[in-house]
Amino acid sequence: MQDYQSQKSIVLDILDAHQSMPGNLLPILHGIQDTLGCIPSAAVEDIAKALNLSKAEVHGVISFYHYFRTTPPGKHTIRICRAESCQAMNSKALENHAKQTLGIDFHETTADEHFSLEPVYCLGNCACSPSMTIDGDVYGRVTPEKFDQLIAVCKGAN
Amino acid sequence: MTRLFVSRDSTALSLGAEQVAKTLQEQASSKGLDIQIVRNGSRGLFWLEPLVEVETTQGRVAYGPVQAEDVAGLLDSGLLEGKEHPLYLGNIEELPYFKNQNRLTFARVGLTDPVSLDDYLAHDGYRGLKNALAMPAADIVKHVTDSGLRGRGGAAFPTGIKWNTVLNAPAEQKYIVCNADEGDSGTFSDRMIMEGDPFVLIEGMTIAGLAVGATQGYIYLRVEYPHAKVALNQAIAAAYQNGYLGENIQGSGKTFHLEVRSGAGAYICGEETSLLESLEGKRGLVRYKPPLPAIVGLFGKPTIVNNVISLASVPVILDKGGEFYKDYGMGRSRGTLPLQLAGNIKHPGLFEAAFGMTLRELLYDYGGGSASGRPIRAVQVGGPLGAYLHEGQFDTPLDYEAFAAISAVLGHGGIVVHDDTVDMADMARYAMEFCVEESCGKCTPCRIGSTRGVEVIDRIVGNIDKDKNTALLRDLCDTMMCGSLCAMGGMTPYPVLSALNHFPEDFGLPAAKA
Ligand SMILES: Cc1cc2nc3c(=O)[nH]c(=O)nc-3n(C[C@H](O)[C@H](O)[C@H](O)COP(=O)(O)O)c2cc1C
Ligand code: SF4
Ligand code: FES
pLDDT tens for each residue of A77-111:
999 999 999 999 999 999 999 999 999 999 999 99
Helix axis angle for A91-102 and A144-156, nearest 10°, is 40
* Residue B196 contacts residue B79 (beta carbons within 8 Å): no
Query: How many beta-carbon pairs under 8 angstroms link A with B?
Result: 143
Helix axis angle for B137-147 and B159-168, nearest 10°, is 160
Rg of chain B (C-alpha set): 24
Q: Which one, of A131, A123, A140, A136, lies nearest residue B182 by Cα?
A: A123
Determine if ligand 1 sits within 6 Å of the CB of residue B340: no
pLDDT at B231: 98
**What separation, in Å, do the N-terminal and C-terminal C-alpha atoms of chain A show?**
21
Closest chain B residue by Cα to residue A139: B14
Q: Which one, of B58, B54, B43, lies nearest residue B88 by Cα?
A: B54
| pLDDT per residue as tens, chain A (158 positions) | 468 999 999 999 999 999 999 999 999 999 999 999 999 999 999 999 999 999 999 999 999 999 999 999 999 999 999 999 999 999 999 999 999 999 999 999 999 999 999 999 999 999 999 999 999 999 999 999 999 999 999 988 65
Question: Residue B392 phi/psi, 5° resolution?
Answer: -65, -10
| pLDDT per residue as tens, chain B (514 positions) | 999 999 999 999 999 999 999 999 999 999 999 999 999 999 999 999 999 999 999 899 999 999 999 999 999 999 999 999 999 999 999 999 999 999 999 999 999 999 999 999 999 999 999 999 999 999 999 999 999 999 999 999 999 999 999 999 999 999 999 999 999 999 999 999 999 999 999 999 999 999 999 999 999 999 999 999 999 999 999 999 999 999 999 999 999 999 999 999 999 999 999 999 999 999 999 999 999 999 999 999 999 999 999 999 999 999 999 999 999 999 999 999 999 999 999 999 999 999 999 999 999 999 999 999 999 999 999 999 999 999 999 999 999 999 999 999 999 999 999 999 999 999 999 999 999 999 999 999 999 999 999 999 999 999 999 999 999 999 999 999 999 999 999 999 999 999 999 999 999 999 876 5
Strand partners, B419: B376
Q: Give the closest ligand to the alpha carbon of residue A128.
A: 3
pLDDT at B213: 98
Instruction: Check whether the bond before B397 is cis (ω within 30° of 0).
Output: no
Q: Which residues of A touch B265 (CB under 8 A)?
A: 65-68, 120
Half-sphere exposure at residue B374, Cβ-oriented, CA atoms within 13 angstroms = 12
pLDDT at B441: 96
Burial class of residue A105 (count of CB atoms within 10 Å of its CB; 0-12, 13-18, 19+) = exposed
B88 membership: H or E segment, kind and range: strand B88-90
Polymer length in residues for chain A? 158
Q: Which residues of B touch A137 (CB under 8 A)?
A: 13
Q: What is the distance, to the nearest Å, from the Cα of residue A109 to the centroid of all Cα atoms in its chain?
A: 11
The strand ranges marked E within chain A are 76-81, 108-109, 115-120, 132-134, 137-139
* Residue B412 contacts residue B152 (beta carbons within 8 Å): yes
CA distance A64 to A45: 18
DSSP class of residue B510 equals P
pLDDT in tens, B252-303: 999 999 999 999 999 999 999 999 999 999 999 999 999 999 999 999 999 9
CA distance B211 to B388: 39
Question: Residue B159 phi/psi, 5° resolution?
Answer: -65, -40
CA distance B107 to B95: 16
Rounded alpha-carbon distances, angstroms, from residue B247 to B236, B239, B242, B407: 14, 12, 11, 48
Half-sphere exposure at residue B134, Cβ-oriented, CA atoms within 13 angstroms = 7
A122·B184 Cβ contact <8 A? yes
Amino acid at residue number B172 = E
CA distance B309 to B191: 10
B262·A30 Cβ contact <8 A? yes
DSSP class of residue B365 equals I
* Residue A102 contacts residue A75 (beta carbons within 8 Å): no
CA distance A87 to A84: 5
Side by side, the strands of the sheet bearing B303-307 are B257-262, B216-221, B175-180, B303-307
DSSP class of residue B394 equals T
pLDDT at A3: 82
pLDDT at A158: 56
pLDDT at A57: 97
pLDDT at B275: 98
Strand partners, B354: B336
Q: Is the ipTM of this complex over 0.85?
A: yes
Longest dimension (CA), chain B: 76
* ∠ CA B96-B99-B103, rounded to 5°: 135
CA distance B5 to B66: 12
* Residue B24 contacts residue B6 (beta carbons within 8 Å): yes
* Residue B431 contacts residue B492 (beta carbons within 8 Å): yes
A126·B46 Cβ contact <8 A? no
**Which distant-in-sequence residues (6+ apart) come within 8 Å of B203 by Cβ?**
B125, B126, B128, B129, B244, B314, B315
Determine if ligand 1 sits within 6 Å of the CB of residue B187: no
Polymer length in residues for chain B? 514
Determine if ligand 1 sits within 6 Å of the CB of residue B151: yes
pLDDT at A2: 60
DSSP class of residue B219 equals E
Question: Residue B164 phi/psi, 5° resolution?
Answer: -65, -40
Helix (H/G/I), strand (E/B), else coil: B45: strand
Task: Tell me which of A77, A85, A142 to substitute to probe the interface with B (most B C-beta atoms closer than 10 Å).
Answer: A85
CA distance A11 to A32: 6
pLDDT at A155: 86
pLDDT at B477: 98
Give the global pTM. Answer: 0.97
CA distance B263 to B180: 9
Pocket test for ligand 1, best of B179, B311, B481 (most atoms within 8 A of CB): B179
Point out the ligand 2 atom lying closest to the alpha carbon of residue B442.
Answer: 7
User: Which sign, positive or negative, has the C-alpha torsion A13, A16, A17, A22?
Assistant: positive
pLDDT at B33: 96
Count of Cβ atoms closer than 10 Å to residue B86 Cβ: 9
Q: Which one, of B235, B222, B204, B230, lies nearest residue B114 by Cα?
A: B235
